[in-house]
Chain A
């Protein structure tokens, strides 16, 4: 699976959009981009995933660049409850495993 690079930490004001970048320059054609988050010491929570098209669900939007070498997770109106560590993971369709890195710690402040 391709390796990902994320900034270790980011801040965001409550109510503003949080844009979390992820670099995956070695991604191959059959690999999906997944985003999970971990709030405090809870189990990770699935957010969204995509292959090449942009995706949106009730939690977030995922923007993948045309060359697929990077992506951005967007939380449109961040709240204090979005404070968490966000993991960007690249995974091949037929792979059984997820490889977690150290993620981005997002701090949402009032």
Chain B
């Protein structure tokens, strides 16, 4: 299986544009996460989901929206992109509550100009 896949790998947006970052996992994991990583920093949690139809905010949710209509997919929507959202975005998944091992995708590098 492919694990966690993310598209696109790179994207440049203009200020005020919108886009959706795609994340798919084929491991039948219940939990999925979106993180952002700014240069030289650790990862910060944006949103997470404990199952289809259930999402919750992380540390830095402002400016983002998510949905979880299926187990496999967890898209992240940026509305009105701002330069502060220039970052690398990682999606991750894990199997179930109590199982702490998260599996990460390769990331999407986003630049907002």
Interface size on B, residues (CB 8 A): 28
- Pair B45/A93 contact, Cβ less than 8 Å: no
B96 to chain A: closest CB distance in Å?
11
Interface flag for B53 (CB, 8 Å): no
Q: Count A/B pairs, Cβ under 8 Å.
A: 56
Residues A98 and B42 in contact in the complex (CB < 8 Å), given A41-B88, A41-B107, A44-B90: no
- Pair B42/A100 contact, Cβ less than 8 Å: yes
Residues A94 and B97 in contact in the complex (CB < 8 Å), given A41-B88, A101-B42, A102-B41: yes
Interface flag for B103 (CB, 8 Å): yes
Chain A positions 69-85 with a Cβ under 8 Å from a chain B Cβ: none
- Pair A97/B107 contact, Cβ less than 8 Å: no
Count class of interface residues, chain A = 20 to 34
Interface flag for B83 (CB, 8 Å): no
Give every chain A residue within 8 A of B101 (Cβ-Cβ). 34, 46, 49
Scan A91-106; emit 1 where CB is below 8 A from any B CB, else 0: 1011011111111000
Task: Classify the secondary structure of B's interface with A.
Answer: strand
Complex CA distance for A91 and B98, rounded to whole angstroms: 10
Scan A49-87; emit 1 where CB is below 8 A from any B CB, else 0: 100000000000000000000000000000000000001
Partner of A44, one of B56, B97, B100, B104: B104
B3 to chain A: closest CB distance in Å?
10
Partner of B43, one of A41, A44, A91: A44
Which chain B residue lies CB-closest to A48? B101
Give every chain A residue within 8 A of B104 (Cβ-Cβ). 43-45
A95 to chain B: closest CB distance in Å?
8
Q: Which 3 A-B pairs have the closest CB atoms?
A: A43-B104, A100-B42, A100-B43
